[in-house]
């Protein structure tokens, strides 16, 4: 029952992304609609259930745990969960505990996260222009995020900035965002916008900025060297020789990364998605709640789910339509 998780394509599943809430204090246009209907709290896994769920995965070979949302730090009592997960770091069973955040709550929680064993955080930030930031997040305040970044760096957290590449929006900022990250010794990863949520396909096509074009833009100003490095996620990395900084590219559309996929995603309601770009999922909440004294049924359900993990997603813009469109919002599955 504790044998490693291997999918049908001989990929070891060692990375679990866990959404702890569907709620967020922003309403980013590519992630949520402006007037979201959130889940009833009784449908969400409790913090104790999240602990039990994650601990079961760790016992089956998961070595990296990334906490996501929504915005994970708006979940009431979330630091209790981080504190309990730190025991798996202490035992050596868990190699890394980290999170993806919009940065809005880091001013409050950076020191506590470091104390719980978190050493790296990914911060979603698509623009350094206050007006554009307010527009794309709808409710967000850039100065609050920048203060959070300051607090995280003071606490000793290593920061990677995740920027969604959006044509006509942050194209002109590529040089300034890159310089800003270099000056602050922060890594930067660009992400292609994915066809998820209820925005029309035409919107996604208008927003889509191929990372091949982003790389070509870098090559006009820098010497770009490919790196073999992987951090356990889907990004491919290059080094800009003039600054020495590392730039990542997450390219689900121009160059999908499915052949090396080692991850699955757990929603805040206990649904396990074996692929971000497929609708198939497994309900793990039912075996968790129906067998409170044993994890055997949960382990069996996890193994059955992994046995159905597909070879890859179907995201495709090449025919000038957003093939592979997912009906669920990114915030539902976890960023």
The token pair that represents 276 in the structure block: 């971000």
263 labeled part of a ligand binding site = yes
In angstroms, the CA 115 to CA 110 distance is: 9
265 labeled part of a ligand binding site = yes
Q: How far is CA 2 from CA 62, 116, 182, 303, 307, in A?
A: 11, 26, 43, 10, 15
Q: List, as one string, the DSSP characters of 220-275.
A: HHS-EEEE----SSS-EEEEETTTTEEEEEE-TTTS--GGG--EEEE-TTSEEES-
User: Do 54 and 64 meet the contact criterion of CB atoms below 8 Å apart?
Assistant: no
In angstroms, the CA 19 to CA 281 distance is: 14
124 labeled part of a ligand binding site = yes
Question: How many alpha carbons lie under 13 Å from residue 100 in its C-beta half-sphere?
Answer: 23
Q: Pairing state of beta strands 263-266 and 271-273?
A: antiparallel
194 labeled part of a ligand binding site = yes
70 labeled part of a ligand binding site = yes
Neighbours of 184 (CB within 10 A): 12
In angstroms, the CA 296 to CA 302 distance is: 10
69 labeled part of a ligand binding site = no
54 labeled part of a ligand binding site = no
91 labeled part of a ligand binding site = no
In angstroms, the CA 223 to CA 218 distance is: 8
Q: What share of the chain is helix, strand, coil (3-state, %, to 5)?
A: 35, 20, 45
28 labeled part of a ligand binding site = yes
Q: What are phi and psi of 152, to 5 degrees?
A: -65, -40
Q: What is the DSSP-derived secondary structure letter of residue 194? A: -
- Residue 64 host element (H or E): strand 64-68
100 labeled part of a ligand binding site = yes
160 labeled part of a ligand binding site = yes
Binding-site annotation, residues for [4Fe-4S] cluster: 24, 28, 31, 258, 261, 275
Annotated binding site: 17, 24, 28, 30-31, 66, 70, 100, 124, 160, 194, 258, 261, 263-265, 275
Q: Known binding site for S-adenosyl-L-methionine: residues?
A: 30, 70, 124, 194
Annotated binding-site residues for GTP read: 17, 66, 100, 160, 263-265
């Amino acid at each position: 029952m504790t044998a490693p998780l291997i999918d049908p394509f001989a990929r070891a599943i060692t990375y679990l992304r866990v959404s702890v809430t569907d709620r967020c204090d922003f309403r980013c246009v590519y992630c949520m609609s402006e007037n979201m209907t959130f889940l009833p709290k009784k449908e969400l896994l409790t913090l104790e259930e999240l602990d039990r769920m994650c601990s079961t995965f760790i016992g089956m070979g998961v070595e990296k745990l990334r906490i996501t949302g929504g915005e994970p730090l708006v979940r009431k009592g979330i630091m209790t969960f981080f504190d309990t997960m730190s025991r798996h770091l202490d035992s050596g069973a868990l190699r890394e505990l980290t999170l993806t955040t919009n940065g809005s709550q880091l001013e409050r929680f950076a020191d506590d996260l470091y104390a719980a064993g978190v050493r790296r955080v990914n911060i979603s930030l698509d623009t350094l222009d206050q007006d554009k930031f307010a527009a794309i997040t709808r409710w967000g305040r850039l100065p609050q995020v920048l203060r959070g970044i300051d607090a995280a760096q003071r606490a000793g957290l290593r920061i990677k900035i995740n920027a969604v590449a959006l044509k006509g929006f942050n194209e002109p900022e590529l040089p300034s965002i890159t310089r800003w990250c270099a000056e602050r010794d922060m890594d930067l990863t660009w992400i292609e916008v994915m066809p998820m949520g209820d925005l029309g396909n035409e919107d996604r096509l208008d927003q889509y900025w191929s990372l091949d074009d982003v790389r070509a833009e870098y090559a006009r100003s820098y010497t770009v060297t490919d790196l073999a490095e992987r951090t356990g996620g889907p990004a491919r990395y290059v080094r800009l020789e003039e600054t020495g900084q590392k730039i990542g590219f997450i390219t689900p559309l121009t160059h999908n990364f499915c052949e090396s996929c080692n991850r699955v995603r757990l929603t805040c309601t206990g649904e396990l998605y074996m692929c971000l770009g497929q609708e198939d999922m497994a309900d793990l909440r039912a075996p968790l709640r129906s067998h409170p004294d044993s994890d055997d049924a949960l382990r069996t359900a996890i193994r059955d789910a992994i046995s159905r993990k597909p070879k890859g997603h179907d995201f495709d813009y090449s025919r000038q339509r957003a093939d592979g469109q997912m009906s669920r919002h990114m915030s539902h599955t976890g960023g």
